[in-house]
Amino acid sequence: MNCILIKNGRVIDPANNIDKICDLRIENGKIAELGNNLSDGGADVIDASGLLVTPGLIDMHVHLRDPGLEYKEDIISGTAAAAAGGVTSLACMPNTRPILDNLAVCRYIITKAQEQGTANVFPIGSITQGLKGEILSEMGELKEGGCVAFSDDGLPVTSSELMRRALEYSHTFDMPIISHAEDLSLVGNGVMNEGAVSTELGLSGIPWVAEDAMTARDIMLAELTGGHMHMAHVSTRGSVDLVRQAKARGIRVTCEAAPHHFTLTDEAVRGYNTNAKMNPPLRSQADVDAVRAGLADGTIDAIATDHAPHHFDEKNVEFAIALNGIVGLETMLPLTLKLVEDKVLELNRAIALMSYQPARVLSIDRGTLSPGAVADVVIIDPTLTWEVVPQKLHSKSKNTPFGGWIMKGGAVKTLLAGKVVFER
Amino acid sequence: MQFQHRHILGIKQFSAEELNFILETSASFKEINTRDIKKVPTLRGKTIINLFFEASTRTRTSFEIAGKRLSADTVNISGSSSSVVKGETLEDTARNIEAMHPNIIVMRHNASGAAAYLAERMGCSVINAGDGTHEHPSQALLDAFTIRQHKGKISGLKVAIVGDITHSRVVRSNIDCLNKLGAEVWISGPKTMLPPGIERLGCKVAANLTEALTEADVVMMLRIQHERQGKTLIPSLREYSRYFGLNDKNLKLAKPDAIVMHPGPMNRGVEISSVVADGPQNVILDQVENGVAVRMALLYLVSGGEKLAEN
């Protein structure tokens, strides 16, 4: 029998309201028991004194670029980056080549991840065939194939009628629709947040209302249809408020926020830093504060990275033509722990936002240390300080605005079904 | 003083003292342009490449003449509006040109930040001749030079800049330049053409054209760039000229000795009436003339400037 005993760690399992120093025993890849002074009876012992022992983190918004764009990332490098960041489960977006709108691509991703990956990969199918915004994808079959949600991520569903039908149809299969809320007519040729910084740099701006207007529409459609609407990467004061009000009215809406949106403002774009170019763009301090408040009061359900690897050549160009997005899997944990240090979040809630809560949004059986659950566990040293050196990231792409930052906190051991897949 | 800059990327990099120094240097070059033989050997043997990714006649010609009058060898290269259209990155373009060992590259590009991008990657000097909607430092300097020529000073003047502020690189450089030199800059235009936070650059936003023009010492009109705008910014040129155009009537709001400027090319009858454009208060051709002197000074200063004494 394969047995691991993690001793004397501070075990945090928000799903079960557990936060105490104790031992955790893993048997045959499953959580066996939690308790004090568990005997090691032949188990491999890991001393976790002074460390946190939590469910493996879950990132519900990742671009693995595989199949089709493997020069940026593939399932192996992407899940390696996940493991290094303490992430044991991730949901990957469908904008691959070919698009994940059919069973073949879905099976390819799941199989490759199971055979060669170091994290659980849960595919997200596209809402519309070919991401064209015209005809719904075969959601029933995609669910059967292992998809956990649907999204045309990166592209808003511009037709309100089609979004309504998507919510109705996915409701039939009890699956969430993930919305990338953006009114493209308001975005125009904008390349960064509209404000004093865009004015000064002479770059076309994207107004906050481009996000808010679409968020409002999608929430109303969720109310109309009763479907589950999940708002991806909320970044504005307005959209956080809209979700807060919608939840108070009992509308079935959830949302996520990305670490860069609660850490950086549009000031990071200065110097035409293409590693600060993303969609939605980095916003103002007031928006950052609103996202933090939304995380604190429970309006925001999950922290997700929108991990978007791009090749150096795609960022080493004029700002206006650089591709959107940054890698995030390896910096999510310390950036979220910073919120704990800043007293925005309790540690328990921070862990919940990165594990139990996204699992609940996607209805996946992960994110808990309940006995019998799959032993996806991460051991975190909250005091570990390390410098972000882009070239040392496990992701194939190095596009991070946090290069040179000193981070506090990180995974020291990541266990996937009881097997160590990353060790610092 | 010693000029410490290898590149001219924007007004932002200069202190007021440095701006004044550039203007003084320009004044010393202006005289050369009025000589019968308009040539000095200052930059003999130096190679200047005018790399223009955007169409421009006035600025390119001005830089070319400036270089030639300093005896430099000037080469003009025009590219498509963005280097990627040709399938080559800007960095590759830059490397190829650098391999030919120019001393100075003067670049205009449609991407904001392109000049800085190039400067970071080049061994030679880079002069920004306009990057997207970011900066156009030589234009701001020639404007300041022209204001000083006519007003004798810049400090304490009220300068009104009117037009499409959002899409103007001239405005951004001018606000910074005139501000540092002590002027009070007011901007005005339809709200669709005023970008958010513009006042943080150091100007005042006038509620309307009347407020901007009243008691102004300098009125600077910007070109309405038909070709660049989406169709949604103004309903018609006719209406624009009525509410935001400068004519002989509303010019009376300004001080009697106010000067009228325009970076060109003008749309007569749109942002400026012909009566004003050709009237006694206009200094538009002085701007063009001064442009050559200012650009000679910039080319000279980034080249090290030690040979001026020989002229």
- pLDDT the model gives residue A27: 95
- pLDDT the model gives residue B310: 43
Condensed to tens digits (0 to 9), the pLDDT of residues A192-229 reads 999 999 999 999 999 999 999 999 999 999 999 999 99
Mean pLDDT of B175-188: 98
Indicate the burial class of A264 (C-beta count within 10 angstroms; 0-12, 13-18, 19 or more).
buried
CA dist B299 and A35 (Å) reads 77
Closest CA to A238 of A304, A296, A276, A293: A293
User: What residue in A sits closest to B131 (Cα-Cα)?
Assistant: A202
What residues contact A262, with CB distance under 8 A and at least 6 apart? A288, A291, A292, A295, A335, A339
Q: Which residues of B71-91 are buried (b: 16+ CB within 10 A; e: fewer)?
A: ebebeeeebeebbeeeeebbb
Sites in chain A below the pLDDT cut of 70: 1
Q: Is B58 a catalytic residue?
A: yes
The percent of chain B in helix, strand and coil, each rounded to the nearest 5, is 40, 15, 40
The answer to whether B154 and B117 have CB atoms below 8 angstroms apart is no
Distance from CA of B122 to the nearest CA of A (A): 15
Query: Which residues from chain A sit within 8 angstroms of residue B201, using beta carbons?
Result: 199-200
Helical (H) or strand (E) element with A45: strand A44-47
- pLDDT the model gives residue A2: 83
Inform me whether the C-beta atom of residue A383 falls under 8 Å from chain B C-beta atoms. no
Query: Which residues from chain B sit within 8 angstroms of residue A201, using beta carbons?
Result: 112-113, 134
Query: Which residues from chain B sit within 8 angstroms of residue A194, using beta carbons?
Result: 195-196
Inform me whether the C-beta atom of residue A195 falls under 8 Å from chain B C-beta atoms. yes
- Three-class SS state of B107: strand
Residues β-bridged to residue A178: A151, A230
- pLDDT the model gives residue B307: 44
Mean pLDDT of B161-166: 95
CA dist A173 and A184 (Å) reads 29
Residue for token digits 């996937």?
A: A416
Compute the mean pLDDT over every residue in chain B, rounded to the nearest whole number: 92
- pLDDT the model gives residue B70: 97
> Sign (positive/negative) of CA torsion B209, B274, B217, B139?
positive
- pLDDT the model gives residue A163: 97
Q: Do B111 and A318 touch (CB under 8 A)?
A: yes
Residue for token digits 């404007």?
A: B143
- Nearest CB to B133: which of A196, A202, A321? A202
Mean pLDDT of B78-88: 65
Inform me whether the C-beta atom of residue B197 falls under 8 Å from chain A C-beta atoms. yes
Q: Do A320 and B132 touch (CB under 8 A)?
A: yes
Q: Is B295 a catalytic residue?
A: no
Tell me the C-alpha to C-alpha distance, in Å, between residue A28 and each of A2, A57, A58: 5, 20, 22
- pLDDT the model gives residue A151: 98
Residues β-bridged to residue B183: none
Closest CA to A178 of A336, A282, A75, A60: A60
Q: Do A272 and B135 touch (CB under 8 A)?
A: no
Single pTM value for the model: 0.91
Q: Do B112 and A194 touch (CB under 8 A)?
A: no
Which of B117, B169, B198 has the highest number of chain A CBs within 10 A, making it the mutation to test binding with A?
B117
Of B7, B42, B46, B59, the catalytic one is B59
Condensed to tens digits (0 to 9), the pLDDT of residues B217-272 reads 999 999 997 665 556 788 888 889 999 999 999 999 999 999 999 999 999 999 99
- The CA angle B206-B139-B304, to the nearest 5 degrees, is 140
Q: Is the pLDDT of residue B88 over 90?
A: no
Q: Do B198 and A199 touch (CB under 8 A)?
A: yes
CA dist B230 and B234 (Å) reads 9
CA dist A288 and A54 (Å) reads 27
What residues contact B86, with CB distance under 8 A and at least 6 apart? B79, B80
Return residues 53-72 of B near A (CB < 8 Å): none
